[in-house]
Chains A and B, each alone.
Chain A
Amino acid sequence: NAGVMQNPRHLVRRRGQEARLRCSPMKGHSHVYWYRQLPEEGLKFMVYLQKENIIDESGMPKERFSAEFPKEGPSILRIQQVVRGDSAAYFCASSPGQGEADTQYFGPGTRLTVL
């Protein structure tokens, strides 16, 4: 049973380019979460999505960042016009969406480096 998959694992972009990070949840999971870990800092929640819906984006930067989880295919975290401060590890998690103890399982992360 494959876990949460993220790709690419490493991504290098120049300032001003776009970055697209993909996340495929575990089989049977319909809820996806994105977290960001800046260098030498803790993980911070960004956004929570269900299929075709953004449920909570309270942790998303107001500009340049967007997320989607389409009916078919992986969840995408998109960063437009990247800046050096976007360099971080981006982790996706998924959960089945059941009950009050809805455990989130994390992927290996995408490490974004902005030159």
Chain B
Amino acid sequence: DAKTTQPPSMDCAEGRAANLPCNHSTISGNEYVYWYRQIHSQGPQYIIHGLKNNETNEMASLIITEDRKSSTLILPHATLRDTAVYYCIVFNSGSARQLTFGSGTQLTVLP
């Protein structure tokens, strides 16, 4: 699986949009971009994934650049409960089943 690079930490004001970047310049054509988060040592929580097109669900939006070398996870209206470590992972279950978690981004939502 391709490696990802994320900033170690970010702050966001409550109620504002949180934009979390991820670089994955060596991503393969069939690898998906996945986002998980881990709130204070709880089990990782799946957020969203995408291949080429932008995706949106009830939790977040995922914007993938046209060359697929980077992506941004957007939490449209961050709340204090969104404070967590966010992991960007590139993955294709057809090639390998294990998720490789990097260091992630510690997002702190400030009141």
Name A residues whose Cβ lies closer than 8 Å to a Cβ of B: 4, 31, 33, 35, 37, 42-45, 48, 55-56, 58-59, 89, 91, 93, 95, 99-109
Contacts of B97 in A (CB 8 A): 31, 33, 48, 55-56, 102
User: Are B43's CB and A91's CB within 8 A?
Assistant: yes
Contacts of B34 in A (CB 8 A): 103
Q: Which of B71-100 contact A (CB under 8 A)?
A: 91-94, 96-100
User: Are B93's CB and A102's CB within 8 A?
Assistant: yes
Interface size class of B (residues with CB under 8 A): 20 to 34
Q: Which of B41, B46, B102 contacts A89 (CB 8 A)?
A: B41
Given the known interface contacts A101-B49, A103-B49, A104-B99, the answer about A43 and B93 at a Cβ–Cβ threshold of 8 Å is no
**Interface centre among A31, A33, A55, A100, by most B CB within 10 Å?**
A100
Residue of A with least CB distance to B41:
A89
In the bound assembly, the distance between CA atoms of A56 and B97 in angstroms comes to 8
Name B residues whose Cβ lies closer than 8 Å to a Cβ of A: 30, 32, 34, 36, 38, 41-46, 49, 51, 91-94, 96-104
Residue of A with least CB distance to B96:
A56
Q: Chain A at the B interface: mostly helix, strand, loop or mixed? A: strand
B51, chain A: closest CB distance, angstroms: 7
B100, chain A: closest CB distance, angstroms: 7
In the bound assembly, the distance between CA atoms of A86 and B36 in angstroms comes to 25
Q: What are the 9 closest A-B residue pairs judged by CB atoms, nearest first?
A: A45-B98, A102-B93, A106-B43, A43-B101, A100-B94, A106-B44, A48-B97, A42-B101, A108-B43
A7, chain B: closest CB distance, angstroms: 13
User: Are A91's CB and B98's CB within 8 A?
Assistant: no
Contacts of B43 in A (CB 8 A): 4, 91, 106-109
User: Are A101's CB and B93's CB within 8 A?
Assistant: yes
Q: Which of B45, B46, B94, B98 contacts A56 (CB 8 A)?
A: B98
